């Protein structure tokens, strides 16, 4: 994906023509100077600030004077001015001719529509794909968690602001966060909810969800009818007046949508001022897309008429702007975030075939941005990422609808630039919502990196490109970004808890950032909207169909699922063996069943990932070996398929490193560690110096799998304080021990890591024998010498001085050995830790339950002895943390690292990039 394609003849001709035109036309460049207001984080913070300070900062940061005077003559031949009072009909056909630079009016026959040479792979319906939700598979679990959240949300609260704006009674109370009644972005999440609900219902046919999404559409239909103009929004139309007047406003078109004008416009882009600020975040866009998905995916016929009415309303607004001013005023207004308005309008056109929808889509193809990409100018730096990725997605739809090859070139070039210069090892992109200097990502490794929305939209870009080209690189990218960039934004199994940014810096945490984890009812950021969509359509890019006389199926993702291939009467069931770090192979099983006894002739094309290797790769069909091609290609099997056919795939999966996208020699040693497509994060608060053993060392030389047997050696040691609180023996600052109070929530936290220890006898035999109920140790346990290793600090041990030190070899002076003996208090399930270097001396908790120290048994009895015995006795509890099946130990300079897949982490502090030069 990082390679740069050679320009095609079409592109070269465009470039030559553009350069000559620019030389003749006193060109204006498309500036991409960002302002703070381009950031949704800044906008939200300013809106929440008290007036008048907020109003002053709002206006100061809007930089009205940034817009250069327009070059009126450049646009006079495109659309003449019409007095506002004129009754003359707006000529959409004439406008289309001008946009196309053509002599004839566009008709349905001139739009490629995927016909002829444009044979794309077909998307398969989510209704025909079922993810395996049984067990603990990462995809099924993520889908199940998201469905729980969608069902939790209440219809009356979702549509509260819509009803209020329409003057209708609004029972209940509104949600908070970005959906609050005083936030200009309100309503955007409802559009995402309709899209997510439609796709989740298609994926699961959950009856409760079907009722909720139908009720949302009915409520919005009532609101639109009350308005009487086709307008449908949770905020007043006055926001669009401000938008059209180039005044500060927060993304009305973003909410309406929800989430390339041919050669003539590409040339215009070189004369057009484009500040590319992100002041508006497509509210109409989200609503239109949500309704369109309710129609196309969920089959709600009412929703289509609502989308058409909205499109007609906004066509009238755009027409009015062009008539009252010039078309350039409309282009200038696109310097705000309109999201994928072009995308949803192209989708609508494929259904209605109404030329107005096609022209309106063209009018939202932001020329100052797509024009730069059309002439292959690598100038993404400074642009707001998620303002512009949806514009590219819309350009991709333009290619699919019209067959215009320029927009294929634009998308291809864009993907190459982002992946070669602006992408992290996760597959995500952006820092604080923007693209910064290309190939300088080392200086962008912070907390506010990789906006979740941007990853969601980059997946759309790669998905389109794969459908057009069948190139494995796009499928590999999709896998990487889906596993690491999408699955990582959910907080485990907590429904409705997601993040805005995915931190990439050393020693960062998903929980400790500007936004941190969101809440179920008081966040509703843009990334909540795209998040619920991502987890509702996990099955949409596993299978792609190739229609024709000889049907074919492309299987590009390894996700446990079942696909009902109606074209052939075949059912494909995919199973994936759960991975562990000790596995050397990813094993995938594809089972076929046929509706008819004579089967169906068809072709299966199965992705051979680029991350695997030929050595050890294997494929069998009904236990017979198949010839495998090299990684980065497809295994193609054509036959008459019958029930019982079984294709088994075995792909070697290895450790690898990947350098950060930075061309400066001084940071060349910063690399991420991957296990196949899984990005491994090290549990650390900031240390990133690895010890590799030399430049020629392979990753397997300094990174070793964590044996599954290690989980049986884990324990959490507790005591009850005088106040009845549960205290945990824990490490502090990676250097010492203390008794800390058990937090209310321990799952996925640093507290759980600090309070978990591995008790390792020199013989490596299992030390702690669990009772029948799974807790405690049976009475009569014999004294056993053991090293006590903090969970998050592999290769270290607790010394007899109660400090965390590098583990010493067993024996010697015994400074890291303890005798684990039955608890001195005589209670079942307790143990005491006797110093190996000082028999009769034990680890004891202080009277206050805080300080941990060494105490030695004294002769005699009485209350003092009883108090000592109690302080030296710890209850053995189930460990608060366990090793993930995919876990590794990596050697470090000052300490070693525990590596786990990034998507499994919740609140823990971690590091993605390691300094391998140390």
What is the mean pLDDT of the segment spanning 729-743?
Answer: 92
**Domain 132-263+279-535 bears CATH identifier 1.50.10:** yes
What is the mean pLDDT of the segment spanning 629-653?
Answer: 96
Q: Is the dihedral of CA 87, 88, 93, 98 positive or negative?
A: negative
pLDDT digits (tens, 9 = 90+) for 508-565: 999 999 999 999 999 999 999 999 999 999 999 999 999 988 899 999 999 999 999 9
pLDDT digits (tens, 9 = 90+) for 645-695: 999 999 999 999 999 999 999 999 999 999 999 999 999 999 999 988 877
What is the mean pLDDT of the segment spanning 348-361?
Answer: 95
Using an 8 Å Cβ cutoff, are 461 and 473 in contact? Answer: no
Consecutive H or E run containing 357: helix 355-363
In the predicted structure, residue 57 carries a pLDDT above the cut 90: no
- Rg of the chain on CA atoms, in Å: 31
What is the mean pLDDT of the segment spanning 309-334?
Answer: 85
Q: What is the pLDDT of residue 631?
A: 96
132-263+279-535 matches 543-577+585-652 in fold? no
| CATH of the domain spanning 708-769+782-882, picked from 3.40.228.10, 1.10.580.10, 3.40.190.150, 2.80.10.50 | 2.80.10.50
Domain ranges of the chain: 132-263+279-535, 543-577+585-652, 708-769+782-882
Give the integer Cα–Cα distance in Å for 104 and 766.
Answer: 82
Q: What is the pLDDT of residue 253?
A: 43
Q: Which fold has domain 543-577+585-652?
A: Immunoglobulin-like (2.60.40)
Give SS3 for 885: coil
- Counting other chains too, the contacts that 152-158 makes at CB distance below 8 Å and 24 or more residues apart are 152/495, 152/496, 152/520, 153/193, 153/212, 155/212, 155/215, 155/216, 155/219, 157/521, 158/189, 158/190, 158/193, 158/216
Q: What is the pLDDT of residue 655?
A: 96
Taking the CB of residue 707, how many other CB atoms lie within 10 A of it? 15
In terms of pLDDT, which residue wins out, 107 or 461? 461
Q: What is the pLDDT of residue 286?
A: 86
User: Tokens in use for 461?
Assistant: 């870009």
pLDDT digits (tens, 9 = 90+) for 764-780: 444 444 333 333 333 33
In the predicted structure, residue 488 carries a pLDDT above the cut 90: yes
Taking the CB of residue 838, how many other CB atoms lie within 10 A of it? 12
pLDDT digits (tens, 9 = 90+) for 396-407: 999 999 999 999
Q: What is the pLDDT of residue 814?
A: 57
Nearest residue to 673 (alpha-carbon basis) of 651, 695, 693, 688: 688
């Amino acid at each position: 994906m990082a390679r740069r394609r050679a320009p095609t003849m079409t592109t070269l001709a465009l470039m030559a023509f553009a350069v000559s035109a620019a030389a003749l036309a006193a060109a204006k460049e498309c500036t991409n100077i960002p302002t703070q207001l381009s950031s949704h984080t800044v906008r939200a913070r300013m809106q929440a600030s008290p007036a008048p300070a907020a109003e002053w900062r709002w206006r100061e940061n809007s930089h009205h004077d940034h817009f250069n005077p327009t070059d009126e003559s450049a646009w006079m031949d495109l659309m003449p001015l019409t007095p506002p009072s004129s009754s003359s009909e707006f000529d959409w056909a004439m406008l289309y001719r001008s946009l196309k630079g053509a002599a004839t009016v566009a008709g349905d026959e001139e739009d490629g529509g995927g016909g002829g040479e444009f044979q794309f792979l077909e998307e398969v319906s989510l209704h025909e794909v079922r993810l395996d939700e049984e067990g603990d598979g990462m995809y099924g679990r993520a889908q199940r968690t998201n469905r729980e959240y969608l069902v939790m949300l209440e219809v009356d609260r979702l549509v509260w602001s819509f009803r209020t704006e329409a003057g209708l009674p609004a029972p209940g109370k509104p949600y908070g966060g970005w959906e609050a009644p005083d936030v200009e972005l309100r309503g955007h999440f409802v559009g995402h909810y309709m899209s997510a609900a439609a796709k989740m219902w298609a994926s699961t046919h959950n009856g409760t969800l079907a009722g909720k999404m139908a009720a949302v559409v009915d409520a919005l239909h009532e609101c639109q009818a009350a308005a009487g103009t086709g307008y449908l929004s949770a905020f007043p139309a006055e926001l669009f007046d401000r938008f059209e007047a180039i005044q500060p406003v927060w993304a009305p078109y973003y909410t309406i949508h929800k989430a390339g004008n041919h050669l003539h416009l590409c040339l215009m882009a070189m004369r057009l001022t484009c500040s590319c600020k992100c002041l508006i975040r497509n509210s109409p866009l989200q609503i239109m897309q949500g309704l369109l998905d309710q129609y196309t995916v969920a089959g709600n016929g009412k929703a289509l008429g609502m989308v058409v009415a909205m499109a007609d309303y906004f066509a009238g607004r755009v027409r009015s702007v062009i008539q009252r001013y010039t078309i350039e005023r409309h282009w200038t207004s696109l310097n705000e975030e309109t999201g994928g308005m072009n995308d949803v309008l192209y989708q609508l056109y494929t259904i209605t075939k109404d030329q107005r929808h096609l022209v309106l889509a063209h009018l939202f193809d932001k020329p100052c941005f797509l024009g730069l990409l059309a002439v292959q100018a690598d100038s993404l730096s400074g642009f707001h990422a998620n303002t512009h990725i949806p514009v590219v997605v819309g350009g991709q739809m333009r290619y699919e609808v019209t067959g215009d090859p320029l927009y294929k070139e634009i998308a291809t070039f864009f993907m190459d630039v982002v992946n070669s210069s602006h992408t992290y090892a996760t597959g995500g992109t952006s820092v604080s919502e923007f693209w910064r200097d290309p190939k300088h990502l080392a200086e962008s490794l912070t907390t506010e990196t990789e906006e979740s929305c941007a990853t969601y939209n980059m997946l759309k870009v790669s998905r389109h490109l794969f459908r057009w080209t069948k190139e494995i690189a796009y499928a590999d990218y999709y896998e990487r970004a889906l596993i690491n960039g999408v699955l990582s934004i959910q907080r485990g199994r907590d429904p409705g808890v997601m993040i805005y940014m995915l931190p990439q810096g050393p020693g960062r945490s998903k929980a400790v950032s500007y936004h941190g984890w969101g809440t179920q009812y008081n966040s509703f950021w843009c990334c909540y909207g795209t998040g619920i969509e991502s987890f509702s359509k996990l099955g949409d890019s596993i299978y792609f169909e190739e229609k024709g006389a000889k049907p074919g199926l492309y299987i590009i993702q390894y996700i446990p699922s079942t696909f009902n291939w109606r074209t052939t009467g075949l059912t494909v069931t995919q199973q994936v063996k759960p991975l562990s770090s000790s596995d050397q192979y990813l094993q995938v099983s594809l089972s076929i069943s046929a509706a008819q006894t004579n089967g169906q002739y068809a072709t299966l094309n199965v992705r051979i990932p680029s991350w695997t290797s030929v050595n050890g790769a294997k494929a069998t069909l009904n236990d017979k070996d198949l010839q495998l091609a090299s990684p980065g290609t497809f295994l193609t099997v054509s036959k008459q398929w019958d029930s019982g056919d079984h294709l088994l795939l075995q792909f070697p999966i290895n450790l690898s490193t990947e350098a950060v996208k930075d061309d400066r020699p001084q940071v060349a040693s910063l690399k991420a560690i991957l296990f196949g497509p899984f990005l491994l994060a090290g549990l650390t608060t900031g240390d990133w110096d690895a010890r590799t053993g030399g430049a020629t060392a392979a990753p397997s030389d300094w990174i070793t799998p964590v044996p599954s047997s290690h989980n049986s050696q884990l324990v959490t040691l507790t005591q009850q304080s005088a106040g009845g609180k549960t205290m945990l023996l824990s490490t502090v600052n990676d250097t010492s021990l203390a008794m800390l109070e058990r937090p209310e929530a321990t799952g996925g936290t640093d507290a759980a890591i600090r309070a978990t220890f591995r008790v390792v006898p020199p013989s490596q035999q299992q030390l702690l024998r669990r009772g029948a109920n799974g807790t405690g140790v049976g009475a009569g346990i014999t004294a056993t010498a053991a090293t006590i290793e903090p969970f998050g600090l592999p290769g270290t041990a607790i010394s007899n001085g109660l400090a965390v030190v590098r583990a010493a070899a067993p024996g010697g002076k015994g400074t890291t050995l303890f005798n684990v003996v039955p608890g001195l208090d005589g209670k079942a399930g307790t143990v005491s830790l006797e110093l190996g270097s000082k028999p009769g001396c034990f680890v004891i908790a202080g009277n206050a339950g805080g300080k941990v120290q060494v105490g030695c048994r004294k002769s005699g009895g009485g209350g003092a002895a009883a108090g000592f015995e109690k302080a030296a006795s710890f209850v053995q509890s189930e460990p608060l943390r366990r090793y993930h099946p995919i876990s590794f130990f990596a050697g470090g300079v000052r300490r070693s690292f525990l590596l786990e897949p990034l998507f499994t982490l919740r609140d823990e502090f971690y590091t993605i990039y390691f300094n391998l030069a140390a």
